[in-house]
Copies of this chain bind each other. A is one copy, B any other.
Amino acid sequence: MRISELSATSGVPVPTIKYYLREGLLPHGTPTAATRAEYGETHLRRLRLIRALLEVGGLPVAAIAKIVAAVEDESVPVHTMLGTAHYALAPVIETSPGDEELRAARARVDELIAELGWQITPDAPTRTELAWILARLSHLGRPAPEEDLRHYARVVMDLVSGHEMAKVPFDGPREAAVESLVVGTVLYGKVFDVLRRLAHESASARLLGA
């Protein structure tokens, strides 16, 4: 299809498509004339991924370029490719090396992960992110009890390994797996969060007989 059709089908305006082509986010089409190129399914799929990363993940173009590079490089294993996208979605936590509370919380997170037997790389930003929240709870005088963390971890792993992982199309095109991971991580994370708040309202109404 021509660039105008690619735009109509994907819903992405032509100037934006041209910008993605210049930035290397989208591979060039097959030239059919001096100023014309043919685009196909690969381009549609890529635009869908870019849109998910941009609109759902809220990622800057530089981060998207890194993820796209991992998608394009077939020598990058799928797990590493997914990790690139996954880590890009984590909020940046500024750690001040002098923060004792944070250091203690981080040690606790590492212990918990080891105890659970979860396979998490040592430099995963999610470790620091969890440590930061635990330090915050301690700082507010409400340290998270060990058994609560273990309970949450159990519930969450049941959900992920018993339900969510089955939804990721690992055997399709590399783009599709990344897109599914991003949408699943961000939007289903939000679904879960809102449902949890709804459940709080309902449980509180029941408990207090409102």
Q: List A residues at the B interface (Cβ < 8 Å).
A: 48, 51-52, 55-56, 77-80, 82-83, 86, 89-90, 113, 118-121, 124, 126-127, 129-130, 133-134, 136-137, 140-142, 144, 148-149, 151-153, 155-161, 163-165, 168, 170, 180-181, 183, 185, 187-208, 210
CA distance A201 to B85 in the complex (A): 11
Once the chains bind, are B192 and A137 in contact (CB under 8 Å)?
Answer: no
Once the chains bind, are A119 and B183 in contact (CB under 8 Å)?
Answer: no
Measured between C-beta atoms, what is the minimum distance from A121 to chain B in Å?
Answer: 8
Once the chains bind, are B191 and A193 in contact (CB under 8 Å)?
Answer: no
Measured between C-beta atoms, what is the minimum distance from A194 to chain B in Å?
Answer: 5
CA distance A183 to B134 in the complex (A): 12
**A86, A140, A191, A200 pick with most chain B CB within 10 angstroms:** A200
- A89 / chain B contacts, CB cutoff of 8 Å: 197
Once the chains bind, are A82 and B133 in contact (CB under 8 Å)?
Answer: no
Once the chains bind, are B133 and A196 in contact (CB under 8 Å)?
Answer: no
Once the chains bind, are A153 and B199 in contact (CB under 8 Å)?
Answer: yes
Measured between C-beta atoms, what is the minimum distance from A145 to chain B in Å?
Answer: 9
A196/B160 contact (C-beta < 8 A), A79-B210, A187-B133, A210-B79 known: yes
Say which residue of B121, B130, B155 sits within 8 Å of A194 (CB atoms). Answer: B130
- A195 / chain B contacts, CB cutoff of 8 Å: 130, 149, 152-153, 156
- A79 / chain B contacts, CB cutoff of 8 Å: 204-205, 208, 210
CA distance A144 to B184 in the complex (A): 10
With A136-B187, A161-B199 already in contact, 13 other A-B pairs whose C-beta atoms are closer than 8 Å: A51-B140, A56-B140, A79-B205, A79-B210, A118-B201, A119-B205, A120-B201, A126-B198, A133-B194, A149-B191, A152-B188, A192-B196, A193-B193
A198/B140 contact (C-beta < 8 A), A82-B204, A210-B79 known: no
